[in-house]
């Protein structure tokens, strides 16, 4: 995990994190201690896997990854193939992302956006889901999306 992941973990530890919405599929949020119920993975995750045929969840991810490392296809009891629960191009986003984005952004009193180009939709539009009076804070190399024109303050670090 990076210092940014640990910053999110610190927000959780202080009781300030409503939810962490992420496009990442790498499980780094979990690695720094953010609980599963506070993580919303818009593009899925390598943390779980499901059968491509019947939809059954893989119950032993250690065995799954051992098979993958040994160039074997992890198979389900139905003889289908397990795949990590990541969203491929053309697949729908997880319902958890859609449901919680509608719920959480109504309750949000500050939105922090970090490390993104804000070009992939619908994720890029989340900053617009909060009320107009909710502060938006961007930690990023460049101003992106709605932050390009609407930023009240900009602090540039060293390149």
| Rounded Cα gap, residues 124 and 14, in angstroms | 27
Token pair for residue 107?
Answer: 């309750």
Residue 32, helix vs strand vs coil? coil
| Catalytic, out of 40, 43, 138, 145 | 43
Beta bridge partner(s), residue 75: 81
Reading the block at residue 110, the tokens are 């500050």
- b or e along 29-43 (b: 16 or more beta carbons within 10 Å of the residue's beta carbon)? bbebebeeeebbbbb
The answer to whether 1 touches 32, Cβ cutoff 8 Å, is yes
DSSP-H helix ranges across 14-94: 28-31, 61-69
- Helix (H) or strand (E) run with residue 47 in it: strand 44-51
Told to judge if 43 belongs to the known catalytic residues of this protein, a careful annotator would answer: yes
Active-site amino acid positions: 43
């Amino acid at each position: 995990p990076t210092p940014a992941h640990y910053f999110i973990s610190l927000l959780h530890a202080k009781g300030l994190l409503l939810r962490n919405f992420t496009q990442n599929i790498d499980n780094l949020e979990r690695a720094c201690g953010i609980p599963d119920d506070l993580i919303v993975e818009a593009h899925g995750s390598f943390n779980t896997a499901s059968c491509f045929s019947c939809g059954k969840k893989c119950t032993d991810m250690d065995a799954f990854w051992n098979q993958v490392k040994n160039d074997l296809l992890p198979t389900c009891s139905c003889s289908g193939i397990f795949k990590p629960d990541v969203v491929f191009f053309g697949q729908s986003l997880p319902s958890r992302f859609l449901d919680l984005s509608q719920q959480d952004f109504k309750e949000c009193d500050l939105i922090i956006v970090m490390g993104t180009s804000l070009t992939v939709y619908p994720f890029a539009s989340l900053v617009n889901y909060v009320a107009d009076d909710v502060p938006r804070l961007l930690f990023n190399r460049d101003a992106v999306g709605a932050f390009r024109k609407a930023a009240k303050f900009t602090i540039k670090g060293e390149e």
